[in-house]
Amino acid sequence: MLNKTMIKKRQIILLVTVLLACIFFINGVYALDAKLNASITEVKAAICINDSKDIKQLMADEGFNVLSIEDNIKQAEATYVAQGLLKEKKSNYDFALVFPYCDTVKQIREDALAAQDEVNSLMMFYNDSIIPGMDTTTIDAMINDVNDAIKNERYTEVSAIVEKTYTEITTVRSSYTALNIFYKSTARGIMAFLTSKNRILQIANWQFLTGLVVLILILLLIYRVQIRKMRLNRQLSKLINRKKTIKELVMKTQKDYFQYGKIPEGEYNIKTKRFAELIRDIDRQIPLVQEELAKISGGAKNIFKEDSAVEKEKETVKIKPRIIAHKSAKKPEKIKKAKHKVHIKIPVKHHRKIIKAKKKL
């Protein structure tokens, strides 16, 4: 019995020892595998960074801007160095954090090549579609937007702009073609009209139109003096009517000031001064127009007759200071106006009315 018990204990101890050995072996294998995987990841991260640098150089040689690629490479290198420091300190590290930056660099490369292919196809279509004389302002602006997107590394936006540019090229070309067809048809119609014969005169229409134009030019040459005189007479009539209107305004202003007392002295002075300036300006223009009429008429006899009506109106009357009586509800009070002399040309009849108004006051 004792021997059997000893044998069982030895078997149990042996079994436990084997189990422990297996566990230690498996743990060792797992640890070795983890270290091996970590080493492989570290190597892959280093290779990844080198590949990104190669992509950067390749794109720079092809004429692309590489600012975004440079930023991603710097981030990848900084991450790689940080994980190396953690490894030296026996802390948890993971070189796999470098891989997203490398993937971004690869994606930028693919987007750039795709955008460049789209631009090349667009330019081929543009060169084949452009017709000499066609307005390409809007198309050129869109192409500049495409080039700016590539220059600023906004490769994902290029496709949408290129599609819009295709549509604009098609629209502009269609409009230009339709316009050319209209011009050509119109030109053909005009040429057909000019070359066809007039049914009445039995000559070509272009000959008839040429003769008509020549006749009009001859008539204008013959009656140029009369036309000039009509224009000058119209101008002189306008000046006289304007002067008459201004004088009516002067009389109204004088009534409002002297007879009715509707306007203050300051406003009266400003208005009369302005009216006097306008009348003097018209009096300067009238002789010039009359002189021009005299030159083309060969004398000044007719002008003097026309001027007789104007000369009768050139009587100057001095307006003396007046006292306006303002009636109040209780007692009438007389308010003296400051003395102000204004020399203005007004009709004698109106001057007599002013004197009568003064006597009433």
The mean pLDDT values, 10 residues at a time, for the chain of 361 residues are: 62 64 50 57 89 91 90 92 87 88 92 92 89 86 92 91 91 84 76 76 80 89 87 92 92 89 88 91 92 75 47 42 36 37 42 43 37
With beta carbons less than 8 A apart as the criterion, state whether 60 and 66 touch. yes
Looking only at the bridges linking them, the beta strands covering 333-336 and 323-326 are antiparallel
d(CA 155, CA 109): 10
Residue 177: its pLDDT value, please? Answer: 82
3-state secondary structure of 335: strand
Please check whether residues 71 and 181 belong to one and the same domain. no
**The pLDDT value given to residue 328:** 35
Q: Within 10 A of 225 (CB to CB), how many other CB atoms are there? A: 12
DSSP class of residue 300 equals S
- Distance, in Å, from the CA atom of 280 to the CA atom of 175, rounded to the nearest integer, reads 60
- Specify whether 84 is located in the same domain as 164: no
Distance CA 342, CA 67 (A): 83
What letter represents residue 227's amino acid?
A: I
Which of 198, 222, 246 marks a domain boundary? 222
One domain, residues 185 and 140: yes
DSSP designation for 98: G
Residue 117 falls within a domain, yes or no?
Answer: no
Domain presence at residue 118: no
Is residue 356 in some structural domain?
yes
Report H helices in the chain.
Answer: 2-61, 67-88, 99-129, 137-151, 158-195, 205-222, 224-254, 265-297, 301-312, 348-360
How much is the pLDDT for 295? 85
Measured between alpha carbons, how far is 249 from 359 in angstroms, rounded to an integer?
Answer: 24
Answer yes or no: do 217 and 228 share one domain.
Answer: no
Query: Which residues are 336's β-sheet partners?
Result: 323
Q: Do 58 and 91 belong to one domain?
A: yes
Last residue within a domain, chosen from 222, 244, 276: 222
Q: Are both 278 and 339 inside the same structural domain?
A: yes
pLDDT at 208: 79
49 found inside a domain? yes
Same domain flag for 93 and 25: yes
Q: Say whether both 64 and 81 belong to one domain.
A: yes
Whether pTM exceeds 0.85: no
**Strands 323-326 vs 316-319: parallel, antiparallel or unpaired:** unpaired
Dist. CA 278–CA 284, nearest whole Å: 10
Chosen domain end from 222, 243, 266: 222
Whether residues 281 and 353 fall in one domain:
yes
Whether 238 and 207 map to the same domain: the answer is: no
The answer to the question of residue 175 being in a domain is yes
The residues that bridge with 324 in the sheet, in sequence order, are 335
Report yes or no on 19 lying in a domain.
yes
Q: Is residue 116 part of a domain?
A: no
Q: In which domain, by residue range, is 253 found?
A: 224-360
User: Based on the domain organization, do 191 and 286 belong to the same domain?
Assistant: no
**Residue 358: its pLDDT value, please?**
40
Q: Is residue 110 part of a domain?
A: no
Q: Give the 3-state secondary structure of residue 334.
A: strand
Residue length of the chain: 361
Distance CA 187, CA 62 (A): 51
Could you tell me if 229 and 351 lie in one domain? yes
The domain tally of the chain equals 3
Q: What is the pLDDT of residue 10?
A: 65
